[in-house]
Structure 1
Amino acid sequence: MDEKKSGLYLYMGKEDENLLFQHIATGTELRITSRSMQLPADTEQGKSFSFSGFVKWKGEWWLSGAQLGFGYDADLIRKEKESEESRMLFGKNPDLIRAENRQLYKSFLKFNNGNPLAFVESEEGANRFIHDFLEHHNKSLNRSARKRRKQLELDEQWMLPEHPHDIPDPEESIPGMIYCDPDAGIELVFGYNSYVPDTGNPWYEGDDDDMNHDHEAMVLLESSHISGKWMHYLVEKYDFPGLEFPGLSGHELLMYNLDFVMRFWKRKGYHS
């Protein structure tokens, strides 16, 4: 059982059998199993606050102890967001993380010829790319050689994907993509290169008559392995055939509702 995370949370609604809560100080979203708690009858989505403690057990978040409910209180919210202790509840200060990711993004663009998206031939190629990039990034921060070596080891551990099933079998050679977002940092996925029409992507199957190009964009939209921020970048950068709802003005309708659609289809993968 993990350490208890006690703090002020905003109730965000329900998803399947989970209750969604957002930690006020950090913006961290938790999915709490409804088996562990029952909401008061007057709880309102996006308006009700709760001082609660949650623990992670066997891959699920559970309520631990009692919960204390609040209505909207601007002063309480402000104090919580300004509390250094609260901002560190889930780890490093989120503002510091964002600042580091912005610096990482600038380094990535310099390393990758101005492009936040890189294409690699295999897992080995991804490891090589990330190692070389982090070496470049640490040098750009003017760190000493000893500190760079230590930081490189830490960074490479940090860069390991959260989803082991995204990594192909070592005996296979599946091409992958590496994306750097200015806010979220580095993301990595394998097996989707054939869908992305980039001149630097030799695995794109745009000239293959057997490919169902109307299906490509929907595969990317529905994938839980490509985050919402990454998908927004792909949609803004490339012209995907079939990126539309059925009927007249289907493309405009989908673009208008894109964020909502992705949150529904990608579920947990939207923020990954």
Structure 2
Amino acid sequence: MPKQSKIYIKEWLAIKPYHKQVKTDSYYLGLCNKVKDALVLANSDIDGIGLYSSDIDLISCLLVSYFEDIISETNIWTTFVRLHDKMYGKKLPFYHMHEYFEKEINEQDIAFLLWYFIYIFTKEIEDKPFNKYTIIAASKVMEIFDDEYEFAPENKDLKKTYSLDETETDYYEVRKFIDKIAFNTYLFFPDTGMELIRQTENLIEEKNAESEENLASMMNELRDTLLFNLNTKLLSLKANEWAAEILGKQHASYYDLKSVGNKFRSYFLIESEDNDNIILEHIATRQLFSVTKKSIDFLQLFKSKGSVVLMGMANWKGEWWFSGISVFISNDRTSRLIKDERESITSKKEIPLTKEEKEINTEILHKQEKVFLQLNKDRRISFVKTSKLDDYLHNFIKSYNISIGQSGKAPKTKTGIKVGDIDETVVVFFNQKTGIELAYVPNAFPAKENSDFDKYKSNKDTFNLLTTYQISTELANYCIDNYKDKLSFFNTDFGKLILENSDFLLRFWKGRSYHSKP
């Protein structure tokens, strides 16, 4: 086997929540190179799995970070295992747990992490957790960790980094802590950390004509937005939820961390101020927001009543804090902007729904569901040709309007879907959380009403139904609950593995869209 290039300290520090080398880093860097040799050797024993050298370098660092986490008791991995056990009654997906030692290194941990990391880098979804490379590589890495377990040094700096003062009330200090979890923690770096890198690179490319100052502001806003909006592939949780769980329920800020967020950015009118807050009116909805002065360094800019500002804010401990960027709009643009914002449906949806608004939405969905079921003989799903879809939806809207005492008239519905040479079948599903949903996966539903079901296209449609984030969790589960025994896909080894771990994998594949919202 040819001599491999070494992994250097810069690569190791790239996935750390700190950037200055600490005394234990040299030891763990040496371990990274041992693990790399083992991964390369395992790859040479079989045909290979399509990993680049740089991928193997990063995977080596990530696996050693898992080992460092266990040794240093930083509670990252143990939190994932605990939550998975709480949700599914077993420590990990896929693997048997006959011999599993909590808070210690385990070969099953390494195998699962290899599956997870390899998926991230190759997108080989069907690459089973039991493939030859995963098993061989996990065994070789476990041998290394086992030999080092008694002698590995605890990284006290790392443990300190993953702590938060019990008395901390400053939103910005809390945000820094959450940021470390989201973007610089080994378990999430290949997922949310690399997503931040990708989107930042795209932003720089798109906005290369901007000044350095403007570009820096845009990058900060992007990071701030992703921090509160991204869900991890593992368990589909947000970074603030992971932060809370890593600290544990015994921490004074646990429940505040779980609820921090509702970060959004929109246009506001400056209304007034009191001793503690700046009062802003959300232009689109006319709703008032009190933003704590603790979060604003440039208070003099908020003295001008009637001025318009584009700004972000997030809720922490029951207070709204400035978060992200703020841009004051020139006076010559405010009149037109206010008019446009008042009429903008998109802008009205930017702010978090109140409890009353959520209840109204739920009631509307209940009424729509009743009409849908009446029109479809109590079936939650229907199969409609593309050429007839506009008429189908128009009839639904008309029937709904009649049911709530409005005119039977309804605007002519146009989906914008063009009918090609083949008049395709569309799955129309009523999702109790979002309303009517359309999906082009008819061959995942072998219903007697689906006359165009094609068993030869069934595996592809079923696979797309499960893995495509644009298709809801509810529709995927409807398929599993009602048709799993009639679909050949679920008789394959891969299909059986999905059924055994369906919710975990739906969270993994669908990410943020796992949580359907109106």
TM range (shorter): 0.5 to 0.7
Distance in 2 (CA, whole Å) between partners of 1:238 and 1:38 is 38
- After TM superposition, give the deviation of residue 186 of structure 1 in Å: 0.7
In the alignment, residue 54 of structure 1 is paired with which amino acid? Answer: F
1:246 aligns with 2:493: yes
Q: Of 326, 339, 358, which aligns to 1:94?
A: 358
Higher helix share: 2
Q: Which moved more, 1:223-232 or 1:134-143?
A: 134-143
**Which sections of structure 2, spanning at least 5 residues, go unmatched?**
1-174, 183-190, 197-220, 229-238, 246-253, 268-309, 320-348
Question: Which deviations, in whole Å up to 9, do the C-alpha atoms of 1:19-54 show, x marking residues without a partner?
Answer: xxxxxxxxxxxxx8426688999x814641446753
Q: Which residue of 1 aligns with 2:46?
A: none
Q: Which residue of 1 aligns with 2:446?
A: 197
Q: Which residue of 1 aligns with 2:431?
A: 181
Q: Of 393, 399, 403, which aligns to 1:140?
A: 403
Percent same amino acid at aligned positions? 18
In the alignment, residue 119 of structure 1 is paired with which amino acid? Answer: F
Tell me: CA distance 1:127–1:255, structure 2 relative to 1, closer, same or farther (3 Å): same
Scaled by the length of structure 1, the TM-score of the pair is: 0.60
Distance in 2 (CA, whole Å) between partners of 1:127 and 1:67 is 40
Distance in 1 (CA, whole Å) between partners of 2:463 and 2:448 is 21
In the alignment, residue 243 of structure 2 is paired with which amino acid? Answer: E
Conserved? CA contact 2:365–2:433, under 8 Å:
yes
- After TM superposition, give the deviation of residue 184 of structure 1 in Å: 1.9
Question: Which deviations, in whole Å up to 9, do the C-alpha atoms of 1:185-237 show, x marking residues without a partner?
Answer: 111123x213320111122112xxxx265554322201223200111111111
Q: Of 452, 464, 470, which aligns to 1:225?
A: 470
Conserved? CA contact 1:181–1:230, under 8 Å:
yes
Secondary structure of the 1:44 match is helix
Secondary structure of the 1:89 match is coil
Q: Which residue of 2 aligns with 1:27?
A: none
In the alignment, residue 372 of structure 2 is paired with which amino acid? Answer: F
Aligned residues: 207
Secondary structure of the 1:242 match is helix
1:34 aligns with 2:223: yes
Q: Which residue of 1 aligns with 2:392?
A: 129
Conserved? CA contact 2:444–2:459, under 8 Å:
no
Tell me: CA distance 1:120–1:54, structure 2 relative to 1, closer, same or farther (3 Å): same
- After TM superposition, give the deviation of residue 116 of structure 1 in Å: 1.1
**Which sections of structure 1, spanning at least 5 residues, go unmatched?**
1-8, 19-31, 58-62, 71-75, 78-86, 161-166
Conserved? CA contact 1:218–1:243, under 8 Å:
no
In the alignment, residue 89 of structure 1 is paired with which amino acid? Answer: I
Conserved? CA contact 1:102–1:183, under 8 Å:
no
Question: Which deviations, in whole Å up to 9, do the C-alpha atoms of 1:77-123 show, x marking residues without a partner?
Answer: 9xxxxxxxxx993458111111111111111111111111111111x
Scaled by the length of structure 2, the TM-score of the pair is: 0.34
Distance in 2 (CA, whole Å) between partners of 1:269 and 1:36 is 16
Q: Which residue of 1 aligns with 2:215?
A: none
Q: Which residue of 2 aligns with 1:262?
A: 506
Q: Which residue of 1 aligns with 2:336?
A: none
Q: Of 367, 370, 374, which aligns to 1:103?
A: 367
Tell me: CA distance 1:88–1:94, structure 2 relative to 1, closer, same or farther (3 Å): farther
Conserved? CA contact 1:119–1:176, under 8 Å:
yes
Distance in 1 (CA, whole Å) between partners of 2:468 and 2:227 is 32
1:146-161 mapped onto 2 (5 Å cutoff): 148-149=408-409, 152-153=410-411, 156=413
Tell me: CA distance 1:182–1:266, structure 2 relative to 1, closer, same or farther (3 Å): same
Conserved? CA contact 1:104–1:182, under 8 Å:
no
In the alignment, residue 405 of structure 2 is paired with which amino acid? Answer: N
Aligned CA RMSD, in angstroms, stands at 4.1
Secondary structure of the 1:55 match is strand
1:56-95 mapped onto 2 (5 Å cutoff): 64=311, 69-70=316-317, 89-90=351-352, 93-95=357-359
- After TM superposition, give the deviation of residue 256 of structure 1 in Å: 4.7
Question: Which deviations, in whole Å up to 9, do the C-alpha atoms of 1:125-167 show, x marking residues without a partner?
Answer: 1111111122122222233x3xx43xx33x958xx6xxxxxx6
Q: Which has the larger Rg?
A: 2
Higher relative contact order (CA 8 A, sep 6+): 1
Question: Which deviations, in whole Å up to 9, do the C-alpha atoms of 1:53-82 show, x marking residues without a partner?
Answer: 53279xxxxx94576754xxxxx59xxxxx
